[in-house]
Chains A and B, each alone.
Chain A
Amino acid sequence: MLKRLFMMLALALMAMMFFDIAGNYSERTELTGISKHYATEGASELGAANLVASVVITYRGLDTLGEVTVLFISAAGASLLLRRRRERGEGSEERPSRQYAESSEIVQTTLSILFPIILLFGVYIFINGHLTPGGGFQGGAVIASAILFFMLARPNESLSHMMLMRIESLSGFTYVMLGLLGVILSGGFLDNRVIPLGDFGSLFSAGLIPLINILIGLKVGSELGSLLQKFKE
């Protein structure tokens, strides 16, 4: 009873705090501070049409590297936690992999039609990340959804773990190397002006941003894919 009372009290205090914030909130009419700089100088400095992409990939590139690292660590941690269970599981050696019921023919046919299209869509999203809404993370999530679909439709087949791991570590390594290239050839770590900026708004523009988007997309896609696979096992 007392516990419930404290709970209600905490929620009520929280609600009062939020009420105050929401009551005093007024919409801004103009960008201020660093955002203003990004808005007015971002296009000419980095040459990317999508301002969010240039903030994520270059201005705050170190954060994104950290974020990718967090995702990697969480995937590694999840696989560690889920693996230990399997080893301790039955105590017997070489438990045969679980058999799942086959999915219906409709799902299987849909898979063979949609799987390449979903993959292609994910690739499209991260290749055009610097021009349209999208980017590496979103494209990677779409690719992971294709992998999830594959796992749902063909539950008894598994994707090669080795392949996913190779793609992931290779793209992570190349990401850091491209960042270091910026230190040597240009203004600093993860600077995108290593290669020419190209025509503003065209596919081959914005220096390293599309390349890094592709790498992040591959990395996130394979990471989420292996995470899903771990949860399935």
Chain B
Amino acid sequence: MPISSIVLVTGFLLILIGLWAMFVNKNIIRMIIGFSIIDTGIHMVMVALGYITGGTAPIFDDVVNVADASVIIVDPVPSALVLTAIVIGLGVTAIMLSYAVMIYNTKKSLSIDDCAEQKW
């Protein structure tokens, strides 16, 4: 099994685990943790899709020269995308956590069942 498939499958598993955590738990903090796990899974999938067989980091030095760069380095675009995604995920998590703090302060509970007015 090539290395990138392992990373890909692990990423998919993490997405499923995170989704499951978000579905099953009633506690808001645990749902946020589930979201973070999904986030990590997506990052792993993206990195795996950018892998080139036998590729190395896309940084030029004595070993990686420009001439045969297109066959010996991994795709730099998914790496850059994941970098962006990590930061955005952090921002989203921060916002979710501050909402959790707010909900706790108004309702004195972290259970999603106490937010019945949000139900549709």
Report which A residues bind B (CB closer than 8 A): 7, 10-11, 14-15, 18, 21-22, 25, 27-31, 34-36, 38-40, 42-44, 49-52, 55-56, 60, 63-64, 67, 70-71, 73-75, 77-78, 81-82, 84-85, 89, 131-133, 135, 137, 200-201, 220, 224, 227, 230-231
Contact = CB atoms under 8 A, between A and B. Distances in A.
B27 interface: no
A49 B61 contact: yes
23 contacts: A15-B12, A22-B5, A25-B4, A25-B49, A28-B51, A28-B52, A28-B75, A30-B52, A40-B70, A50-B58, A50-B60, A51-B58, A67-B88, A70-B91, A71-B91, A73-B91, A75-B94, A78-B94, A78-B98, A81-B101, A133-B59, A201-B61, A220-B87
A224 B90 CA distance: 10
Contact of A30 (B8, B70, B98): B70
A38 B53 contact: no
Nearest to B61: A49
B77 A34 contact: yes
Contacts, number: 149
A201 B16 CA distance: 42
Contacts of B87: 67, 70-71, 137, 220
Contact of B60 (A10, A51, A84): A51
A85 B104 CA distance: 10
Contact of B52 (A29, A50, A77, A84): A29
A42 B23 CA distance: 44
A16 to B, nearest CB: 11
A29 B8 contact: no
By DSSP majority rule, is chain A's interface helix, strand, loop, or mixed?
Answer: helix
Contacts of B71: 29-31
B16 A18 contact: yes
B5 A43 contact: no
A201 B65 CA distance: 12
Contact of A133 (B16, B57, B99): B57
Nearest to A17: B12
A82 B16 contact: no
B115 to A, nearest CB: 16
Contacts of B66: 40, 43-44
B75 A7 contact: no
Contact of A51 (B4, B76, B90, B95): B76
Contact of B2 (A27, A36, A135): A27
Given A44-B66, A75-B94, A50 B16 contact: no
